[in-house]
């Protein structure tokens, strides 16, 4: 039968479905037609035979719900509105949400004050017609009515639109949703009812619970955690609350609705919202009664939000894709007693955004061209799917003093006034702009929500004249910029210390899960360092202020040096050596405590999910040891730059001797702790390992290879240690971990290049004593790296006298033949997707680790690369520009762990976004790219292009140097020789 569907852009499409098809078939057909991955947020509504608008039940046959399909138009609309639109992982999904907001504005459902309405419409206009032009704006507004009383707001709309110049359609959609979600009526549908006294009210349901309105004013809210049971009896809708001694409410609240059908319809909507936003597992079917039954048989069977997020794991899910925290517990309230569950909104650590709109013009639609909701001007303009992974973290107002962030609770009760809408002094929205793009995986070839940080380029505009004036005012001496690097990296180092001394310590103080002995080992050894380096930074910045000559430009001489400040403070640092020696011990004690205490493990895991903890927690414990190497590098550059006759040379050389001595003393501890930290970091990413961290085990390389099995070439993650090689696949679990499929002991292994034998490029056969596997690398250089490292590991295993430890809980038996092992491997994959209940209960896990980046970029990284990366850390201001934009945006950028982290300023407590650099190419723009500026370098990966401008030749060369170390790892021999020349 044919059914007409009205899309969100008011076009109609006819869909053919089988006569007895359930509702889900029709919804799936619409989503497939739109190329919509996140279809679980949407639903189909239609008027039933009593003219009541109801949702199409996805399990019941369509013919039993829609009596006259030829005469009914079914609407495709947003059904579930998440508390934060950055949980939407696809640009197309956000585009459809923006269309829904546009509809709700036009129909008067999304009520707000005039200023908010004008701001919303200005973003819609920017998305539809592009940059500001007053004549075009007024002509467009005359033809299009976005709100009933639009004429009175026209001047305001035009004024706001002027502030959005350069904003892409996806950025406009993002800002539209950012403003709309703060409005009290966002995503709200009112259902008329009366209370016990007969007063007319409206009921509504949201992600947080059930809301009560009088007119358009919210007068009450019942969060899901407070609700024990929902039921209806004829026209009466009943809410049974949990007992609360402090509450003045009765145990059961009763509301009267117009009819039983209205009442049941609202009850079903409440059950669906509760299940979607709160349930961790789908409810089991209720057994049918033998003779008769009581009550409704309705059960919500659509995917909950947790399943909606997890369904995207069939694509290569983006790093830092976390499960909302309130979904971690199951809560049932439909027919009986409900399990206690935490109150509050979703607090999602990773916000994933796509980058494809960076490549499209202001008039282009994010939908693929076959989509009926696409803008007709987009012919040929939408780029093909591109691969990108970046973690984008929503911008929050920064606090002057670090306070551990608290998860928000309760309903969104803010009043929708302009002052609460994040408006800057020019009238535009404060930038939190980010845009989305899909990805392709070697296994699934499906789209993935992998992202790019598109921050508002009007945030910190700077004209070329201002830039030139600034360069004339400031010194050009290379020594000045070397000294400035000490200052900028010291700022980042202090922030990293605060992660432990302020944020982590505050979190720990609220819990009783950390033993006092562990607290006394960590915090008393960090606090003196924080105090010392606070004063150190102050002295450096005072010296730089004199050097820059802001108040004494006519004076030359004694202040234009940094060696004396470095010498004084490095000598002071030697007094803190006792604290530095304790960091390795603290790291080991913390990991031991985590292993022995589930409460401490949960506390540390939850802390890692906070935005301020932008790296694995144990990484921060090693920061003081790494910082010593940075001082040594800086002093080496200063000594090389200054001639012996220079006034600063003697102090720089003395400071270098002091710091070299300290680094040499800590060299052994540093190497041991880096390996220890890396093993524990990998352990969090792996499922199926009993004892990864054992004495004598060393990590060598991890990366993506294709493994030949019965299903053909399958992408796998390989982990190489000095005694064993593991291969894993990404699990379909809430924790985003990699499940181990097999192990290959290295003792007695041989490697053969077998491209000719199997007809697969860059192919290797790894022959163990009891098992063989065939793998293929993504390129010749990748294959050579693996061959070099595996051969080195085999040599190490041959020299070691002890037996190879067996540590996998579910590894294939060693006596199986290679063919049997392949079958077992295949079966274990099926088990992974079939029986997941125990895995799904695991808590969210950081999804932006190096393991996930290597998986998405189909590359590898070695421990030697990690060690070099520790040396190559850098911070400072850079100007950034995108491929198709004109303006440059000033950002504070931190480079560490093969990744660029972007901040608005160095005072921010957490990054706005990050860009993992593995797989990117680093070049200088060509003449044809029309970037006529000095000190510009270019980063590009497939269709994604970023330009960065440094302030001087020295800083330009430094950024090029450190980024090159992350984008293209050199050969092992070259790196080792480099390491030897920079002995700790």
Could you read off the pLDDT of 930-975 as tens digits, one per residue? 888 899 999 998 888 999 999 999 999 999 999 988 876 544 444 4
Sign of the Cα torsion 610, 615, 616, 617 reads negative
Three-state secondary-structure class, residue 33: helix
How distant is the alpha carbon of residue 258 from its chain centre?
Answer: 45
In this predicted structure, the answer to whether residue 370 has a pLDDT above a threshold of 60 is no
pLDDT for 798 equals 82
In this predicted structure, the answer to whether residue 407 has a pLDDT above a threshold of 90 is no
Could you read off the pLDDT of 601-658 as tens digits, one per residue? 899 988 988 899 999 998 999 999 999 999 999 999 999 999 999 999 999 999 999 9
In this predicted structure, the answer to whether residue 445 has a pLDDT above a threshold of 50 is no
Sign of the Cα torsion 750, 753, 758, 763 reads positive
Could you read off the pLDDT of 106-152 as tens digits, one per residue? 998 898 999 999 999 999 999 999 888 889 999 999 999 999 888 88
Is the Cβ–Cβ distance between 529 and 624 less than 8 Å? yes
**Among 111-115, 179-183, 348-352, 634-638, where is mean pLDDT lowest?**
348-352
In this predicted structure, the answer to whether residue 256 has a pLDDT above a threshold of 60 is yes
* DSSP 8-state symbol, 500: I
From residue 90, alpha-carbon distances to 95, 289, 353, 611, 946 in Å are 9, 43, 7, 22, 21
Higher pLDDT: 901 or 298? It is 901
Is the Cβ–Cβ distance between 189 and 109 less than 8 Å? yes
Q: Which residue has the tokens 């369904």?
A: 311
Q: How confident is the model at residue 98 (pLDDT cuts 50, 70, 90)?
A: very high
pLDDT for 931 equals 86
pLDDT for 757 equals 73
Cβ neighbors of 151 (< 8 A, separation 6 or more) are none
Neighbours of 684 (CB within 10 A): 16
Three-state secondary-structure class, residue 688: coil
Is the Cβ–Cβ distance between 441 and 717 less than 8 Å? no
pLDDT for 230 equals 92
In this predicted structure, the answer to whether residue 443 has a pLDDT above a threshold of 50 is no
pLDDT for 294 equals 47
Neighbours of 835 (CB within 10 A): 9
Q: How confident is the model at residue 8 (pLDDT cuts 50, 70, 90)?
A: very high
Question: 554-583 burial by CB neighbour count: b if 16+ within 10 A, else e?
Answer: eeeeebbbbbbbbbebbeebeebeebbebb
Cβ neighbors of 937 (< 8 A, separation 6 or more) are 922, 923, 924, 925, 947, 948, 950, 956, 959, 960, 963
Is the Cβ–Cβ distance between 855 and 730 less than 8 Å? yes
The mean of the pLDDT values for the chain is 75
Cβ neighbors of 11 (< 8 A, separation 6 or more) are 372, 373
pTM of the model: 0.54
Spatial CA neighbour of 726 closest among 713, 706, 742? 742
Could you read off the pLDDT of 826-852 as tens digits, one per residue? 333 333 333 333 333 334 445 568 888
What does the alpha-carbon distance between residue 5 and residue 537 come to, in Å, rounded to a whole number? 63
How large is the average pLDDT for residues 785-806?
A: 78
Higher pLDDT: 427 or 859? It is 859
Could you read off the pLDDT of 693-738 as tens digits, one per residue? 888 899 999 999 999 887 788 899 999 998 899 999 886 655 678 8
Q: How confident is the model at residue 444 (pLDDT cuts 50, 70, 90)?
A: very low
Spatial CA neighbour of 610 closest among 400, 910, 893? 910
Percent of the chain with pLDDT over 70: 71
Could you read off the pLDDT of 72-93 as tens digits, one per residue? 999 999 999 998 887 888 889 9
Is the Cβ–Cβ distance between 116 and 418 less than 8 Å? yes
From residue 610, alpha-carbon distances to 326, 347, 600, 850, 896 in Å are 15, 9, 16, 18, 18
Is the Cβ–Cβ distance between 518 and 589 less than 8 Å? yes
What does the alpha-carbon distance between residue 637 and residue 93 come to, in Å, rounded to a whole number? 50
User: Quick one: the chain helix, strand, coil %, rounded to 5?
Assistant: 40, 20, 40
* Reduced 3-state DSSP string for 293-344: CCCCCCCCCCCCHHHHHHHHHHCCCCCCCCCCHHHHCCCCCCCCCCCCCCCC
């Amino acid at each position: 039968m044919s059914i007409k569907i009205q899309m969100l852009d008011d076009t109609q499409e006819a869909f053919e479905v089988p006569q007895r098809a359930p509702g889900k078939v029709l919804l799936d057909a619409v989503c497939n037609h739109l190329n919509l991955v996140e279809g679980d947020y949407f639903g189909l509504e239609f008027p039933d035979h009593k003219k009541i608008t109801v949702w199409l039940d996805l399990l019941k046959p369509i013919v039993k719900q829609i009596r006259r399909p030829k005469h009914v138009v079914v609407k495709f609309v947003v059904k579930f509105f998440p508390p934060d639109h950055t949980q939407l992982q696809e640009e197309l999904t956000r585009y459809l949400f923006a269309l829904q907001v546009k509809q709700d504005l036009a129909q008067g459902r999304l009520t707000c004050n005039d200023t908010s309405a004008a701001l919303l419409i200005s973003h819609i206009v920017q998305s539809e017609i592009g940059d500001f032009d007053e004549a075009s704006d007024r002509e467009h507004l005359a033809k299009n009515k976005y709100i009933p009383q639009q004429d009175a707001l026209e001047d305001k709309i035009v004024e706001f639109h002027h502030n959005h110049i350069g904003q892409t359609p996806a950025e406009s959609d993002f800002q539209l949703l950012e403003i709309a979600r703060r409005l009290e009526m966002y995503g709200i549908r009112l259902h008329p009812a009366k209370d016990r006294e007969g007063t007319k009210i409206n009921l509504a349901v949201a992600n947080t619970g059930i809301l009560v309105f009088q007119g358009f004013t919210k007068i009450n809210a019942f969060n899901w955690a407070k609700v024990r049971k929902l039921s209806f009896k004829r026209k009466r809708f009943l809410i049974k609350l949990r007992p609360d001694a402090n509450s003045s409410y009765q145990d059961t609240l009763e509301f009267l609705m117009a009819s039983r059908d209205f009442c049941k319809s609202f009850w079903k909507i409440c059950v669906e919202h509760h299940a979607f936003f709160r349930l961790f597992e789908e409810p089991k079917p209720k057994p049918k009664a033998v003779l008769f039954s009581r009550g409704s048989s309705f059960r919500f069977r659509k995917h909950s939000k947790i399943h909606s997020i997890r369904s995207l794991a069939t694509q290569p899910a983006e790093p830092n894709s976390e499960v909302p925290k309130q979904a971690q517990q199951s809560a049932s309230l439909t027919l009986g007693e409900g399990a206690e569950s935490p109150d509050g909104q979703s607090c999602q650590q990773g916000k994933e955004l796509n980058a494809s709109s960076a490549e499209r013009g202001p008039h282009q639609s994010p939908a693929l061209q076959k989509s009926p909701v696409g803008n007709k001007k987009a012919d040929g303009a939408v780029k093909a799917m591109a691969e990108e992974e970046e973690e984008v973290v929503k911008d929050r107002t920064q606090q002057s003093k670090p306070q551990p962030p608290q998860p928000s609770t309760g309903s969104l009760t803010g009043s929708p006034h302009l002052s609460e809408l994040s408006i800057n002094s020019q009238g535009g929205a404060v930038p939190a702009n980010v845009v989305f793009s899909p990805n392709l995986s070697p296994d699934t070839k499906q789209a993935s929500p992998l992202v790019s940080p598109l921050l508002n380029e009007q945030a910190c505009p700077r004209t070329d004249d201002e830039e030139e004036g600034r360069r004339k005012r400031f010194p050009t001496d290379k020594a000045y910029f070397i000294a400035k690097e000490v200052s900028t990296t010291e700022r980042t180092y202090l922030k990293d210390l605060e992660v432990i001394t302020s944020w982590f310590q505050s979190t720990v103080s609220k819990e009783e899960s950390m033993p006092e002995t562990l607290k006394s080992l960590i915090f008393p050894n960090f606090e003196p360092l924080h105090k010392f380096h606070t004063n150190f930074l102050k002295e450096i910045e005072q010296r730089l202020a004199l050097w820059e000559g802001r108040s004494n430009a006519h004076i030359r001489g004694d202040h234009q040096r940094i060696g004396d400040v470095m010498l004084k403070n490095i000598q002071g640092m030697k007094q803190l050596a006792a604290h530095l020696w304790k960091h390795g011990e603290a790291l080991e004690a913390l990991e031991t405590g985590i292993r022995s205490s589930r409460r401490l493990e949960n506390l540390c895991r939850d802390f890692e999910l906070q935005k301020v903890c932008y790296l694995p927690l144990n990484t921060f414990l090693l920061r003081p040891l790494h910082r010593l190497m940075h001082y040594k590098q800086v002093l080496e550059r200063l000594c090389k730059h200054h001639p012996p006759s220079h006034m600063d040379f003697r102090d720089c050389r003395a400071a270098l001797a002091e710091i070299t001595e300290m680094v040499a003393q800590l060299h052994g501890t540093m190497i041991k702790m880096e390996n220890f930290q890396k093993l524990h970091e990998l352990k969090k990413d792996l499922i199926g390992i009993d004892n990864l961290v054992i004495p004598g085990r060393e990590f060598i390389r991890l990366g993506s290879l294709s493994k030949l099995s019965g299903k053909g070439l399958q992408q796998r993650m390989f982990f190489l240690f000095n005694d064993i090689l593991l291969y894993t696949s990404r699990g379909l679990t809430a924790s985003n971990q990699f499940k181990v499929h097999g192990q290959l002991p290295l003792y007695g292994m041989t490697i053969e290049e077998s491209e000719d034998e199997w007809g697969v490029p860059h192919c290797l056969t790894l022959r163990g004593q009891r098992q063989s596997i065939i793998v293929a690398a993504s390129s010749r250089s990748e294959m050579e790296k693996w061959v070099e490292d595996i051969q080195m590991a085999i040599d190490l295993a041959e020299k070691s006298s002890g037996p190879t430890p067996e540590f996998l809980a579910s590894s294939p038996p060693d006596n199986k033949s290679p063919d049997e092992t392949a079958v077992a491997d295949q079966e274990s994959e099926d088990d992974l997707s079939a029986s997941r209940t125990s895995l799904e209960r695991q808590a969210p896990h950081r999804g932006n680790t190096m393991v996930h980046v290597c998986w998405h970029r189909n590359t590898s990284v070695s421990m030697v690369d990690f060690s070099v990366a520790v040396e190559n850390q850098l911070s400072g201001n850079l100007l950034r520009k995108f491929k198709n934009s004109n303006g440059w945006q000033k950002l504070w950028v931190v480079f560490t762990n093969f990744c660029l982290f972007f901040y608005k300023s160095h005072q921010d407590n957490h990054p706005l976004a990050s860009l993992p650099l593995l797989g990117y190419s680093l070049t200088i723009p060509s003449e044809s790219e029309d970037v006529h500026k000095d000190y510009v370098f270019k980063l590009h990966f497939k269709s994604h292009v970023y330009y960065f401008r440094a302030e001087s030749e020295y800083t330009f060369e430094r950024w090029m140097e450190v980024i090159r170390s992350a984008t293209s790892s050199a050969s092992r021999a070259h790196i080792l020789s480099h390491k030897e020349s920079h002995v700790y």
